[in-house]
Amino acid sequence: MTLSQATPEIPVPSVVAAMDYHVTRLGFAVEWHRPDDCIGVVAQGDCAVCVREAVQATAPARLRSFVADLDDTFAEMTRLCADITAPIKVKPRGQRQFSVHDLNGHLFHFHHDV
Q: Where are the domains of the chain?
A: 9-113
pLDDT digits (tens, 9 = 90+) for 6-44: 899 999 999 999 999 999 999 999 999 999 999 999 999
pLDDT(46) > 80: yes
Q: How many residues does the chain have?
A: 114
SS3 66: strand
The whole-angstrom separation of Cα 113 and Cα 93 is 9
Q: What is the DSSP letter of 86?
A: E
Share of the chain above pLDDT 70, in %: 100
Q: Output phi, psi for 70, to 5 deg.
A: -65, -40
SS3 16: helix
Closest CA to 86 of 103, 106, 105, 100: 100
So what's the architecture of 9-113 in CATH?
Roll (3.10)
Please give the pLDDT value at position 28. 97
